[in-house]
Amino acid sequence: MARRARDTCASVSQHKRSMPGRRSWKRLAWRSRRISAGRTAPAPSTSATRPGIVSNARNPASGPSIDAALKVWTERNQMRKLVDKTLVVASHNAGKIREIRDLIGPLGFEAKSAADLNFVEPEETGTTFEENATIKALASAKASGLPALSDDSGLAIDALGGAPGVYTANWAERDDGSRDFSMAMEKVEKELSEKGAAKPEERTARFVSVLCLAWPDGHVELFRGEVEGHVVWPPRGTSGFGYDPVFQPRGYDTTFGEMSAEEKHGWKPGDAKALSHRARAFKLFAETCLGA
């Protein structure tokens, strides 16, 4: 049964420490090459205590980590605001970086991606979107000394038990490490066909996006957005990226792949509504951490 789209947010605090000063992008790139993936992104073992809430903790031996529960604040007046509009987009995915820049551009941010800065790409060892988003954001925040914003997202199909879910990108991986989303979409269709899922109501799915905003001192904020719809075949449209051509949001007769960026996201600062999962998460981010 399809779940209703939900937007939730969580605040996680580990410990307080004075923020480091701004560094030049050139120095950040130099520093990143000296930091290993293991040091920048400790493996998590957290679990969601309830929808949208992730417990967090500090390991005294290794500094901020996400190994165990410490404290969760959910009231808005306890959430940390983002004052400096310089941040790192904690991603190496070109399509995702483009969409994040499209969404944060109107908010006046100066942003460089982890790929631009040659940061080490951390291993995503989490089993939830929240865990993987936190791993990526903390890695870039520690490497840069600046706030970092990450996104972990995926397609969850009801007939496949929520798959591909957090392994959405893995379904597109080839033996040589490259990604082929045409192959991934064919795999999705093959799995659905084997289960006899032919009607739209048998192919219900949702796109999920979890944003994590992390500071170098280990404090993180999490924002979750979802959009309901169903999987179509054959793929339609060439816009967007990933599985966009096979996802048709509820109430629309076009896929994300057939929509312009403006149509897909359906949101800009000050708007009450947002369509895409990522735009819904960004709406919460802007309202909570920016007051936009």
- For residues 253 and 44, is the Cβ–Cβ distance under 8 A? no
**Binding residue ranges for substrate:** 91-96, 153, 241-244, 264, 277-278
For residue 178, what are its two tokens?
């490259």
**pLDDT tens digit sequence for 214-228:** 999 999 999 999 999
Q: What are the tokens at 219? A: 């404090």
**pLDDT at res. 82:** 81
The better pLDDT of the pair 76, 165 is held by 165
Q: How far apart are CA 173 and CA 184, in angstroms?
A: 8
Cα torsion for 205, 207, 208, 214, to the nearest 10°?
Answer: 170
Give me the domains of the chain, ranges plus CATH numbers.
8-290 (3.90.950.10)
The yes-or-no verdict on residue 45 having pLDDT over 60 is no
Measured from the Cβ of residue 110, the count of other Cβ atoms closer than 10 Å reads: 10
What is the structure's pLDDT at 106? 82
pLDDT at 43: 32
Compute the average pLDDT of residues 236-264.
94
Q: Which residues pair with 151 in a beta bridge?
A: 211
pLDDT of 210 > 80? The answer is: yes
DSSP H helices in the chain:
25-32, 37-40, 94-104, 129-144, 181-194, 261-265, 277-285
Give tens-digit pLDDT for 106-143.
888 888 999 999 999 999 999 999 999 999 999 999 99
- What is the average per-residue pLDDT within 66-75? 35
Q: The tokens of 134 are what? A: 């936190």
Let me know how many helices (H) and strands (E) the chain has, helices first: 7, 12
The larger pLDDT score, comparing residue 27 to residue 146, is at 146
Q: What CA–CA distance (Å, rounded) separates 180 from 71?
A: 40
Q: Half-sphere exposure of residue 272, counting CA atoms within 13 Å on the CB side?
A: 0
CA angle centred on 121, ends 119 and 118, rounded to 5°: 25
pLDDT(229) > 70: yes
pLDDT of 105 reads 82
The percent of residues above 70 in pLDDT, for the chain, comes to 70
Mean pLDDT of 20-47: 35
Mean pLDDT for the stretch of residues 154-181: 95
Return binding residues. 91-96, 123, 152-153, 241-244, 264, 277-278
The mean predicted confidence, pLDDT, of the chain is 77
User: What is the per-residue pLDDT for 75?
Assistant: 38
Which one-letter DSSP state was computed for residue 42?
A: P
Question: Smallest Cα–Cα separation from 114: which of 176, 221, 23, 25?
Answer: 25
Q: Which of 3 and 226 is assigned the larger pLDDT?
A: 226
DSSP class of 289: I
Tell me: pLDDT of 57 over 90.
no
Q: What is the pLDDT of residue 270?
A: 56
List all residues 6 or more positions away from 125 whose beta carbon is below 8 Å from its beta carbon: 43, 44, 131, 132, 135
The bridge status of strand 86-89 relative to strand 148-157 is: parallel
**Residue 76: DSSP 8-state:** G
Question: Can you give the pLDDT at residue 53?
Answer: 32
Query: Is 101 a residue whose pLDDT tops 80?
Result: yes
Question: pTM of the full predicted structure?
Answer: 0.72
Residue 123 exposure: Cα atoms within 13 Å on the Cβ side: 8
- What pLDDT is recorded for position 181? 95
Q: How far apart, in whole angstroms, are the C-alpha atoms of residue 127 and residue 145? A: 27
**Among 40-44, 61-65, 161-165, 195-199, which stretch is predicted with the lowest mean pLDDT?**
40-44
Asked if 14 and 58 count as a contact pair (C-beta separation under 8 A), the reply is yes
Catalytic residues: 152
Question: What is the structure's pLDDT at 274?
Answer: 82
Q: What is the pLDDT of residues 168-189, one digit of tens each?
A: 999 999 999 889 999 999 999 9
Binding residues for Mg(2+): 123, 152
What is the reported pLDDT for 104?
84
